[in-house]
Chains A and B, each alone.
Chain A
């Protein structure tokens, strides 16, 4: 049972354009969401997060939007750069502020930004 779903295994965009990565979840207990970037043979690197009390969080070129009613979040990267090419994982936690903040990951979306 996949509680966090990234339905697009891959996405290709042109440099300078916007990249939109989508993520859906099924567990209504999730209250904290994170995006990680991962290069081959490396561990994930934290990018940006959002609490369920917000619907938008922005950090430089990265913006995460959360639609709780639709159980959907998205990561926007603008402008996209070739160095952004990586696998992006969406992750969720159900224990915000607690001591056991296990992360549940989606399968990832491979983003390719073409020069």
Chain B
């Protein structure tokens, strides 16, 4: 199947700083990318949907000014957590899809563990 990478896999940052997480589709062009976060023993929660070249669509309750998403190319989307706080510590996972009309071809990255101290 298609490969999606995320970088970094783990990051520890101090409260108040910003952290950027990259999501790349390595062998296909991703028309749509999704960002999720997962707390321990919880489900994956969709944060936002981004289509290349347009603004991301955020889910209710997700602060767009805090979680900046940029989908500048068909192979790269970035999530920047601005002014991070300890409650932002979580596992962030991206997924990417090549086709608009398929439900099952959404490929997930390995995730990024963010710890804010």
Which A residues contact B (CB, under 8 angstroms)?
Answer: 2, 4, 9, 32, 34, 36, 41-46, 49, 89, 93, 96-108
Interchain CB contact under 8 A, A44 and B44:
yes
CB of A51 to closest CB in B, whole Å: 8
Q: Which of the residues A43, A49, A102, A104 comes within 8 Å of B109, measured between beta carbons? A: A43
Q: Which of B42, B43, B105, B113 has the most CB of A within 10 A?
A: B43
| Complex-state Cα separation, A97 to B105, whole angstroms | 12
| Complex-state Cα separation, A49 to B104, whole angstroms | 7
Q: Which of B34, B57, B104, B107 has the most CB of A within 10 A?
A: B104
Interface residues of B in 1-27 (CB under 8 A from A): 1, 4, 6, 9
Which chain A positions have C-beta within 8 A of B45? 105
| Complex-state Cα separation, A72 to B4, whole angstroms | 31
B75, CB-defined interface residue at 8 Å: no
| Complex-state Cα separation, A36 to B36, whole angstroms | 14
Asked whether A46 and B106 contact (CB < 8 A) given A9-B41, A99-B100, A102-B49, the answer is yes
| Complex-state Cα separation, A58 to B101, whole angstroms | 22
Interchain CB contact under 8 A, B44 and A89:
yes
Which chain B positions have C-beta within 8 A of A4? 43
| Complex-state Cα separation, A45 to B65, whole angstroms | 30
Nearest chain A residue, comparing its CB with the CB of B109: A43
Asked whether A107 and B42 contact (CB < 8 A) given A41-B110, A97-B101, A102-B34, the answer is yes
Given contacts A46-B106, A107-B42, A108-B43, 11 further A-B contacts (CB under 8 A): A32-B103, A34-B103, A42-B110, A42-B111, A43-B93, A43-B108, A43-B110, A46-B105, A96-B103, A98-B100, A107-B43
Which chain A positions have C-beta within 8 A of B97? 101
Asked whether A43 and B43 contact (CB < 8 A) given A96-B103, A99-B101, A103-B106, the answer is no
